[in-house]
Chain A
Amino acid sequence: GAVVSQHPSWVICKSGTSVKIECRSLDFQATTMFWYRQFPKQSLMLMATSNEGSKATYEQGVEKDKFLINHASLTLSTLTVTSAHPEDSSFYICSALGGRGSYNEQFFGPGTRLTVL
């Protein structure tokens, strides 16, 4: 149980186009999901917290108009990279917060590799 999927697993796009990445909790409901960005050989950087039915909370320095997050249901959050540029090329990882008793654990998706040409 507690599986999180991401789609697509990798995407290549031209500069100036928009790309949507989906994050789904397959066997549990998640009111909260997180989006991370990971550069090669570096740590995961939290971009935003996505809450079902409300606006996402972005971390300092993350452009909310460039990285649009929609959490329309308890099992799906989407990240849209608008007007992508080569510097947006990265590995994007989502996680979903699931409860186990009194403790909430983050379950991670396998990530999406974005390459902007």
Chain B
Amino acid sequence: GNSVTQMEGPVTLSEEAFLTINCTYTATGYPSLFWYVQYPGEGLQLLLKATKADDKGSNKGFEATYRKETTSFHLEKGSVQVSDSAVYFCALSATSNTGKLIFGQGTTLQVKP
């Protein structure tokens, strides 16, 4: 079946450090891929998405490239800020587009000043 695996956290970085959160997936067909962010006390928000191979999603300085050959969608940011501290979820939506999402386990990021 379809699944998403994220690197385990927590990830602790100093401000302005480079961030990578790994995400790999297993799916049949051509899923859409997403990164969601959950700030403390808030609901999940869509951070970025990619709907086909080699697409790059980007938002707020974060980027992720849909790599079909490695079944990966790693999240990167060149210079993190304290305000980026949150839980990040990688997710996929299967080709059937019922809207159903399958989530990874989430990675907690803590950025220290």
Which residues of A pack against B, CB within 8 Å?
A: 4, 32, 34, 41-44, 46, 49, 93, 95, 97, 104-111
Contacts and interface: CB of A to CB of B under 8 A. Distances in A.
Contacts of A44: 44, 89, 101, 103
B100 A49 contact: yes
B43 A106 contact: no
B30 to A, nearest CB: 15
Interface of B: 36, 41-46, 89, 97-106
A86 to B, nearest CB: 23
A41 B101 CA distance: 18
Contact of B43 (A34, A42, A111): A111
A74 to B, nearest CB: 15
Contacts of B44: 44, 93, 95, 108
B46 to A, nearest CB: 6
For A97, A108, A110, the residue with the greatest tally of chain B CB atoms inside 10 Å of its CB is A108
A89 to B, nearest CB: 19
Given A42-B106, A107-B43, 9 more contacts: A34-B101, A44-B101, A49-B98, A49-B99, A95-B44, A97-B99, A108-B43, A110-B42, A110-B43
Closest A-B pairs by Cβ, 3 of them: A108-B43, A108-B44, A43-B105
Contacts of B99: 32, 34, 49, 97, 104, 106
Nearest to B101: A106
Contacts of B100: 34, 46, 49
B6 to A, nearest CB: 8
B46 A105 contact: yes
9 contacts: A43-B89, A43-B105, A43-B106, A44-B44, A44-B89, A46-B101, A49-B99, A109-B43, A111-B43
A110 B104 contact: no
Contacts of A4: 43
